[in-house]
Homo-oligomer: A and B are copies of this chain.
Amino acid sequence: MEPKQGGTVPNSLPEDVAVIDSGRSGRTGYPEVVYCRGKTTAQAEAIIVRMREEQIPVLGTRTRPALAKRILARFPDAEYDTLGQTLTIGRFCAPEDRRGLVVVVTAGTSDLPAAREAAVTAEFFGSNIALINDVGVAGIHRLFARLPEIRKARVVIAAAGMEGALAGVIAGLVSVPVIALPTSIGYGASFGGLSALLGMLNSCAPGISVVNIDNGFGAGYQANLINRR
């Protein structure tokens, strides 16, 4: 890593970029996923290209539009969800092999980015999914109207910002595990999702476990693991 004299050292050599965890499938049953934020476009692209060369199906999360555009141009079978910022290339699980149902529920429209990241992730790894939007507890009849659909789930993901009460209310109404997905929606004393996170961690309803703020990927992955167990 001797910097060159009299000039600018390039960002890093290709071999520095990342160590693809090719044994991951063997250990955990699922391939690695590319978290694109914090990587330069060049780094992320290099990783994706290498994975495709090894024919690993790709799920990229937090994929900025500019990066997505490059990948879509290069891989004709790539798909990009502009709201959830997920990118997929190839299939880890064929549609006909999907099993069970993961229902993703949001408190409000602003929670859709995290919710769709969760939904795309769970589908990618082999779950059937449904997304029920905008049924927050401030108008609780909206939630009750959708309970029959929610009760079809093997696992429910509850995405909510602000006070995050949705997860606890649902957990008291269903007999399956609820994955609570706090979002950074809100302002002032929501402190970037901290309020929703704390609310969900402190829910007095059992049957809830929580992922990081805006971690739709983590929620979808865990929901799929539980669903396909």
Contact = CB atoms under 8 A, between A and B. Distances in A.
Interface residues of A, number: 124
A27 B207 CA distance: 13
Most chain B CB neighbours (cut-off 10 Å) among A3, A108, A191: A3
Interface string A1-13: 1111111111110
Interface in A135-188: 135-142, 154-155, 161-165, 168-169, 171-177, 179-180, 182, 184-188
A159 B3 CA distance: 20
A189 B196 contact: no
Most chain B CB neighbours (cut-off 10 Å) among A88, A142, A193: A142
Contacts of A116: 1, 12
A159 to B, nearest CB: 13
B202 A198 contact: no
B164 A33 contact: no
Given A27-B172, A28-B175, A165-B165, A197 B204 contact: no
Given A28-B174, A110-B38, A199-B165, A79 B138 contact: no
B163 A189 contact: no
A6 to B, nearest CB: 5
A133 to B, nearest CB: 5
A30 to B, nearest CB: 8
A58 interface: no
Interface of A: 1-12, 16-19, 21, 23-24, 27-30, 32-33, 35, 37-39, 43, 47, 68, 72, 76-83, 88, 95, 107-110, 112, 116, 119-120, 123, 129-131, 133-142, 154-155, 161-165, 168-169, 171-177, 179-180, 182, 184-215, 217-219, 221-222, 225-226, 229
10 contacts: A12-B112, A18-B134, A43-B109, A138-B203, A138-B206, A165-B165, A165-B168, A165-B203, A187-B215, A188-B212
